[in-house]
Structure 1
């Protein structure tokens, strides 16, 4: 080793200069959020800026202030837009200021959440216990924070497969299956569930998609008949996936009736609650979620209607032993101890795929502590009211048409000037949607229901005001008329 060479570290060379930069970054972040409604919902990244992201891998250091200035110029002005009050695309929450600051503190601590005895692990345990209370799950059930609903669904369905398959799947693998293991959900189920079924080696041919009723909830008669017929043919039904809020229309399946069917056939009851499970906090919505507490597993997305900054999902499993048995693998280097850092009572690595996990629990913990569940529930109830308000605007307009019943907070509509064929209407509404986005007015998304292209408004937004929906309705008509005239 060359003793004349200065000792290197990745810490700042000038702590005071870094402190000043950090203060500027926090101030800029607060200003950015405070003034979000003054900016367009979305704007395209200019070509000349997009080209800067093709620069070669940096080999030499750069000044932190210069790096931050590049961020302010090339990145900060061009977000997806989901923090804006008129962002209603796909299904995303806005985040919270406290949650963003919590991410800073979590990254500062830089705790690995695989397990161990430290405060961050205790925070995650408390947060998962809080989620059990939200959906009225038993205290002795298990929970795990994950990246989002997709991973939560994968974990829940994996436990279902291993428990109900009838043999040791971990030892013998799916190659040992002597009959088809079948899983059931409506045609409206989120695609992450099909991905999970395929990744688990069951194959999408064994993923039975059941038809829906006029309100887009699963047809229970068809579901029961499909399970009965598969059993008669020698298949082994293992799981029904219910949706507490479908992604297209927000429909809530009849959870109590599905629980009864699963009990009757002795199969696993999983609820994809990525959209609606947290609505148990809303006195308006909670009655429609009756039966969720009977599930064997529940997937929750806390970065949706609880507005935790990305990523924040949760999976709950009623049978904690089954959950642990599905994932636990403890080599010597991960054995828990009775003393020291490795003495933690709950090793999260034994309940999911990841050993390296970020301290995402802190932003959930801080946000809930700051606002309380009653206020979070009121935000949910207000979004439901806003969906009904938008529906009223649509029904009163001679130019707008409601395409599906309003489920939870999702409104599907289109502009219809009359005297146009379906294909022409679909093309027209595609263009209206893009214009709404490109003009920075609003950011809905779209779906197609029974061949009808819809502008889809998913109102999981704590910043939206009722007047924002007046703007959406009026601008939809203005843009539609400007295209057709």
Structure 2
């Protein structure tokens, strides 16, 4: 029994894969956004297990067509607007196939010399977008923004407590305090819990009328914690909150963090790569003052999942947190290469950088600037359409591409009913939103396939459904 496809099997696999990719691309707009889940088919997947004698190449693709694809959410559909999750760019699937074929282990450079340089190239470009000193900074591609933020807080801990590697939090000392916005992503809480800081030591700072962290209240919280004998050490600002797309006043927060000697991390997983768009580039000028920033190429660079990123202003601080010596992994240093096992928690790492590099090389950076600018224009168009409809009301400014909408007088159940109807009939998948305690619905334009016609269709159907719902006094 061989695990290698013979010539005929390889030709068949190539043909069937090409047909699958082509059919998927051509049929996206006609596919249901949310599948009508065939529970019997999925139960059979669970029950079937794995045969002693395989089903072969044709059997695999038959399973794909009959059981996997029909029960998969169409995240690339142009009216998939519920989450900050865009479709993969056109070269992504091919780059992933090449990465799987080469199977480089991106830990130390001897096992992945070209991959090491490709990752360094991607990181250098990303860091340069925000004005970081690319000779001094360092970084690593991660599974996503949540892992990047976890890694950033780990570096901050090592920087604050030089004995952290040896003694951890067991050495005692004043409780370490993390500050973030009340609108921050839950990954900050997760990181604090995982690292043993504890949720009781995370301060959620209230926001202003535009859902941005209030720097004056941040300063008060830091002062109160110092007076109580605690140790403020890190503040996490957000460049694009998940619900409304708000961008915290990073320059003001950076001034305060510098004065108070706090590590400043910027969670830019949703929004920071809008630095590429002319309309919003000015919002991110102060990111270069951060000690670290999390980005998500699998969002606004449309790389297939997973592709997150951490940039740290001082590469040596990143290395001090993660570099360990071991004789069996020793390799001669090369100034061209990076040993990424020394820049993050993983040893075995796949070639994530190839799909990002491939897209930037294939399409060019201007294509991404254009796509992001177009998405911002669509969000602005949606906000204008909402303003023009008497039955709809904007809940917050559309700073980036998240547009939160409420129906005045409609109950929370009524808003949920709207979402359910839009999804069930296949018009669009939108998400729930809570802004300043008020319930609404949220559309996030994170899809380079979305058009103005899609936006108009969603608004018009939404208005029609509201008329139906309000007529029965939901």
TM-score range, shorter chain: over 0.9
Equivalent in the alignment of 2:357: 365
Equivalent in the alignment of 1:408: 400
- Are 2:122 and 1:130 aligned? no
Deviation at 1:110, TM superposition (A): 0.9
Unaligned runs of at least 5 residues, structure 2: none
Q: How does 1:8-407 map to 2 (within 5 A)?
A: 8-12=1-5, 14-60=6-52, 61-117=54-110, 118-139=113-134, 140-165=136-161, 167-337=162-332, 345-407=337-399
Determine which of 441, 446, 452 is the counterpart of 1:460: 446
The CA distance in 2 between the partners of 1:59 and 1:35, in whole Å, is 32
The superposition leaves residues 99-134 of structure 1 with CA deviations (integer Å, 9 ceiling, x where unpaired) of 111001110111111122321222111111111112
2:16 is paired with a residue of what secondary structure?
helix
The CA distance in 1 between the partners of 2:304 and 2:22, in whole Å, is 15
The CA distance in 1 between the partners of 2:98 and 2:197, in whole Å, is 41
Deviation at 1:259, TM superposition (A): 0.7
Tell me if the contact between 1:115 and 1:347 (Cα under 8 Å) persists in the aligned partners.
yes
Equivalent pairs counted in the alignment come to 467
Tell me if the contact between 1:43 and 1:440 (Cα under 8 Å) persists in the aligned partners.
no
1:411 is paired with a residue of what secondary structure?
strand
Change (3 A) 1:357 1:428: same
Equivalent in the alignment of 1:447: 433
TM, length-normalised to structure 2: 0.95
The superposition leaves residues 244-281 of structure 1 with CA deviations (integer Å, 9 ceiling, x where unpaired) of 00011000011111110011011111000001111111
Tell me if the contact between 1:186 and 1:217 (Cα under 8 Å) persists in the aligned partners.
yes
The CA distance in 1 between the partners of 2:103 and 2:30, in whole Å, is 34
Unaligned runs of at least 5 residues, structure 1: 1-7
The CA distance in 1 between the partners of 2:329 and 2:118, in whole Å, is 21
Mean CA deviation greater in 40-49 or 426-435: 40-49
Tell me if the contact between 2:9 and 2:57 (Cα under 8 Å) persists in the aligned partners.
no
Tell me if the contact between 2:130 and 2:284 (Cα under 8 Å) persists in the aligned partners.
no
Tell me if the contact between 2:117 and 2:337 (Cα under 8 Å) persists in the aligned partners.
no
The CA distance in 2 between the partners of 1:462 and 1:469, in whole Å, is 13
The CA distance in 2 between the partners of 1:75 and 1:374, in whole Å, is 35
The CA distance in 1 between the partners of 2:395 and 2:197, in whole Å, is 35
The superposition leaves residues 6-61 of structure 1 with CA deviations (integer Å, 9 ceiling, x where unpaired) of xx43111x322322222221232123123311222222212322222222421412
1:173 is paired with a residue of what secondary structure?
helix
Change (3 A) 1:457 1:355: same
Tell me if the contact between 1:400 and 1:415 (Cα under 8 Å) persists in the aligned partners.
yes
2:266 is paired with a residue of what secondary structure?
strand
2:264 is paired with a residue of what secondary structure?
strand
The CA distance in 1 between the partners of 2:50 and 2:203, in whole Å, is 50
The CA distance in 2 between the partners of 1:345 and 1:99, in whole Å, is 24
The CA distance in 2 between the partners of 1:44 and 1:325, in whole Å, is 50
Equivalent in the alignment of 1:431: 417
Tell me if the contact between 1:190 and 1:247 (Cα under 8 Å) persists in the aligned partners.
yes
Deviation at 1:296, TM superposition (A): 0.4
Deviation at 1:482, TM superposition (A): 3.1
The CA distance in 1 between the partners of 2:368 and 2:291, in whole Å, is 26
Change (3 A) 1:301 1:338: closer
Deviation at 1:235, TM superposition (A): 1.1
Tell me if the contact between 1:275 and 1:301 (Cα under 8 Å) persists in the aligned partners.
yes
The CA RMSD over aligned residues, in Å, is 1.6
